[in-house]
Amino acid sequence: MTTAFKLGFIGLGVMGRPMALNLMKAGYAMTVYARRPESAVPLLDKGASVVATPADVARRSNVVFSLVTSSADSEQIALGANGIVEGATAGTVLIDMATISPLVTRRIAHALSERGIEHVDAPVSGGPAGAQTATLAIMAGGKLAVFERIKPLFDCLGKTVLHMGDHGAGQTTKACNQLALTVTAQAAAEALTLARRCGLDPARVHEVLMGGVAASRVLELFGKRMVSRDFGQGIDTRLYHKDLGIVLDLAQESGLPLPAGAVVKQQINALMGAGDGGADFSVLIRALERATANGKDGR
């Protein structure tokens, strides 16, 4: 058992659960909290301790990971009633790996610092597959000395691990990542819809695109699902809706026009309105198909 760190993990969803398991595989003791008790069962089976509140996690840990859905969730977990702030001692490190607002991140970090608690924002890219295989890209913000101290933990979770700057820099980097991802997915959806409308086999067009300069991980992953109409795997569209909201808020704050990002946000709005918020983001192609005059391509 590795003894330098006593770990806690809050948020055992499709990303958090395999990440926590990978940390346990590396030999770290683990205490967890889950709003849905059944999500903690795989960790309990491996020897983790399950407690009743985030504050209880902090009381038993010197490094706490948090990976919940929204900015409000992260703030509640950190600073709310029975939150980490109520159980942590000075020197405890909170690593927030959710994708949330940089502004909220800085607010949380400031509030914790007044209690001597360290904060690192470390959102990830790589999806459920990257979480399972410990090949995530991790972009961190916060004090460099704290990052260097906890980097061995990040190395259990990802292959690309970079310190991006002060508090909020990790979240800003993730916003840039999500902008590039969603706009590229929109381009894939448009190309494959055009191919179908022109009478071509989208699967063969996808194969050709993957052999040329247009090839990308986004085209490979989401394009394949668009072709096969497999919208049941991956990350929910509703989460990309949240992420692009963060992106466009940052753009407004910075006085920067993001026309492509704004268009994709409108496409996602249409998907949310059609009840596709729980489908994989490759369902983006449906928004284009539904927008055609007769909708003959939409299925």
The alpha-helical segments, DSSP class H, found in 100-236 are 102-113, 127-133, 144-154, 169-197, 202-210, 217-228
The answer for 52, left when phi > 0, alpha when psi is -120 to 50, beta otherwise, is alpha
Higher local confidence (pLDDT), 208 or 233 = 208
Rounded (5°) CA angle 127-285-196? 130
Cα-only R_g, the chain? 20
Find out whether 202 and 243 touch, Cβ atoms under 8 Å. no
For the chain, domains (ranges, CATH) are 2-166 (3.40.50.720), 173-291 (1.10.1040.10)
CA distance 99 to 61: 23
> At a CB cut-off of 8 Å and minimum separation 6, what does 100 contact?
70, 71, 74, 121, 123, 171, 246
**Structure confidence at residue 200 (pLDDT):** 98
CA distance 20 to 85: 21
- Mean pLDDT, residues 19-25 taken together: 97
159, amino acid identity: K
**Structure confidence at residue 233 (pLDDT):** 81
Tens digit of pLDDT for each residue in 40-76? 999 999 999 999 999 999 999 999 999 999 999 999 9
* Positive or negative torsion for Cα 96, 101, 104, 110: positive
Nearest alpha carbon to residue 75 among 31, 10, 6: 10
- Mean pLDDT, residues 143-148 taken together: 98
Q: Which residues form the catalytic set? A: 174
Rounded (5°) CA angle 183-188-192? 150
CA distances from 220 to 86, 103, 227 (A): 45, 33, 11
Binned at pLDDT 50, 70 and 90, residue 2 comes out as low
pLDDT value at 99 more than 80: yes
CA distance 228 to 119: 42
Provide the CA 123 distance to its chain's centre, in angstroms: 6
Q: What separation, in Å, do the N-terminal and C-terminal C-alpha atoms of the chain show?
A: 52
pLDDT value at 247 more than 70: yes
Higher local confidence (pLDDT), 4 or 136 = 136
Tens digit of pLDDT for each residue in 249-276? 999 999 999 999 999 999 999 999 999 9
260, amino acid identity: A
State the burial class of residue 1 (Cβ atoms within 10 Å of its Cβ: 0-12, 13-18, 19+). Answer: exposed
Tens digit of pLDDT for each residue in 178-228? 999 999 999 999 999 999 999 999 999 999 999 999 999 999 999 999 999
Query: How many other CB atoms are there within 10 angstroms of residue 46's CB atom?
Result: 12
CA distance 194 to 214: 15
The mean of the pLDDT values for the chain is 95
Binned at pLDDT 50, 70 and 90, residue 1 comes out as very low
pLDDT value at 3 more than 70: no
Looking at the chain, the whole-number percentage of residues with pLDDT higher than 70 is 97
pLDDT value at 158 more than 90: yes
Nearest alpha carbon to residue 77 among 47, 42, 112, 39: 112
149, amino acid identity: R
